[in-house]
Amino acid sequence: MAKLAKLDDIVSLCKRRGFIFQSSEIYGGLASCYDYGPLGVELKNNVKKAWWKSTVQMRDDVVGLDCSILMHPMVWKASGHADKFADLIAECKKCNSRSRVDHLQDKDAEHSDEHTTHADIDAELATAHDMSNKVCPACGAVGQFTEPMPFKLMFETQMGANVDDSMLVQLRPETAQGIFANFKNVLDSTRVKIPFGIAQIGKSFRNEVTTKAFIFRTREFEQAELEFFCEPGTDEQWYQHWKEARFNWYLDLGIKKENLHFRDHDPDELAHYAKACVDVEYKFPFGQGDWQELEGIANRTDYDLRQHQRGIRSLNNWFESDKDLIRTKLIEESEDYLKGPLSYFDDQNKKRFIPYVIEPSAGIDRSALAFLVDAYDEEEVRGETRNLLRFHPALAPVKVAVFPLVKKDGMPEIARRIYDDLKGLFNCFYDEKGAVGRRYRRQDEAGTPFCVTVDGQTKEDNTVTVRDRDSMDQTRVNTTQLRTFLREKLDL
């Protein structure tokens, strides 16, 4: 029986065994930033590899991409992030709750202006906001607000070493826009035909108002995103397809079924671009055992490609607004937008359309955390606690550890040869120090699926023992068959 892991146990194990450290720890840490240690980087890379394998390698209809983190600022105007990511917030002095200023309602008003546009932050700040009559939606206090303060959810930086000459650019808040911006490049260079997808793994940055729970919500994080382009009308079918495919991916990599479920978004929580969205949620051991999002699968419709068709025609407005994204006006969609540069021509049916997009968007860091938490186990063995990580072999940082039973009688030399032979196939670890039982247990805690041990019998009949992490059972295998045996067991 798997023990329910406490987050503290996981954090402690991560530090102790070199999975995850806090960033800049020797300086007291930097909030919300974490580093992956020697075992952690292997785990994380394996998560990415597994995603890439199932999403790109094993499919005939998906190609990969790796975009720069910095993009033309107008990308974020067209995508909507430049506007939607900046708000004026005021805080109620009485109950400390925060509200968007444009959502606040006057004492005598009948309803608030729910859909006020996100205006120029500087202009808004310069405008006097009469807060004296505003009602706090949380506690009902009137006129108790702080001065409005601006919130920018995108990271900004300067491009160009000459400070006077540098341009304000943003760190991408999602990798998806790099895919949309390259849609035409991929079409023109790869002979793909709709339906097809473009996949990408990479870092994104969001100035979250609140970070949370270890590596679960961080301001710098890694995403694995697929934009799957399909003909309008077939979108629902592909939405279902990817829902199922992505859910099974987690199960196939060992996540326990009872810890994973779907949560459909209510229509009013849908993002501005989405027609439908479902989250794959994992039951994390923080909070009150809350279900938390690992991945969102959204039907983004043709919103993004249409927006970029507007964006690329709006460059002059951007220059004329002194490159101020908020003041820049996007040109209205042209009447024949269906024939625009980001449209697709279906040769077979002689049809032109703007593709719909199904987007499975997974958080790599939070997936890695889920795999860690889910694999964590403690069990009683002869009155002692055995800590282990029951990783799926594909995710295990080290696949095989090789030991001499004792450090003498030529055993280390043989073990060393076996190790050298195996390490070209997959990540291996050699250890000859101390008692073999301790070495086994250490590997259990790192999640290593198999330990190969050279003993006295090895010299006589050329066999070694292969010890299984989960059952602790041992099998004798001839060294000539060892590679095949392990490959099969590891499914590599």
Residues 114-153 that bind RNA (CB under 7 A): 138, 153
Quick check: 435 binds RNA (CB under 7 A)? yes
Give min distance, CB of 387 to RNA, in A. 4
Contact 346, 356 (CB under 8 A): no
Quick check: 387 binds RNA (CB under 7 A)? yes
Quick check: 208 binds RNA (CB under 7 A)? yes
Quick check: 487 binds RNA (CB under 7 A)? no
Quick check: 61 binds RNA (CB under 7 A)? no
E strand or H helix at 29: none
- The residue with tokens 């060393």 is 416
Quick check: 447 binds RNA (CB under 7 A)? no
Quick check: 173 binds RNA (CB under 7 A)? yes
- How many Å apart are CA 239 and CA 62, to the nearest integer? 15
Residues between 244 and 273 with contacts to RNA, criterion CB under 7 A:
269-273
Quick check: 288 binds RNA (CB under 7 A)? yes
Cβ atoms < 10 Å from Cβ of 413? 10
Residue from the set 2, 4, 31, 315 that interacts with RNA by CB under 7 A: 31
Binding mask 393-412 for RNA (x = CB under 7 A): ------------xxxxx---
Binding mask 211-250 for RNA (x = CB under 7 A): xxxx--x---------------------------------
Give min distance, CB of 454 to RNA, in A. 7
Residue from the set 4, 8, 106, 158 that interacts with RNA by CB under 7 A: 8
Contact 361, 296 (CB under 8 A): yes
Give min distance, CB of 192 to RNA, in A. 27
Quick check: 98 binds RNA (CB under 7 A)? yes
Residue from the set 5, 22, 180, 223 that interacts with RNA by CB under 7 A: 22
Question: CA dihedral in degrees (418, 419, 424, 425; nearest 10)?
Answer: 80
CA separation, residue 426 to residues 444, 448, 459 (Å): 18, 12, 25
Give min distance, CB of 37 to RNA, in A. 11
Interhelix angle 436-446/7-17, rounded to 10 degrees, is 120
Give min distance, CB of 54 to RNA, in A. 25
Give min distance, CB of 335 to RNA, in A. 27
Give min distance, CB of 7 to RNA, in A. 5
- How many Å apart are CA 362 and CA 394, to the nearest integer? 18
- The pair phi, psi for residue 344, each rounded to 5°, is -125, 135
Cβ atoms < 10 Å from Cβ of 466? 20
What stretches of 206-257 adopt beta strand conformation (E)? 220-230
Q: What is the DSSP string of 315-370?
A: HHHHHHTTT-TTTPPPPPPPTTGGGSTT-EEETTTTEEEPPEEEEEEEEHHHHHHH
Pick the closer one to RNA by CB: 195 or 360.
360
Binding segment (CB under 7 A) for RNA, from list 191-199, 237-245, 320-328, 469-477:
469-477
Contact 298, 274 (CB under 8 A): yes
Pick the closer one to RNA by CB: 162 or 210.
210
Quick check: 162 binds RNA (CB under 7 A)? no
Residues between 310 and 369 with contacts to RNA, criterion CB under 7 A:
none
Quick check: 28 binds RNA (CB under 7 A)? yes
Cα dihedral sign, 169-171-174-177: positive
Binding segment (CB under 7 A) for RNA, from list 57-65, 127-135, 418-426, 448-456:
448-456
What does the block give as tokens for 325?
């994204």
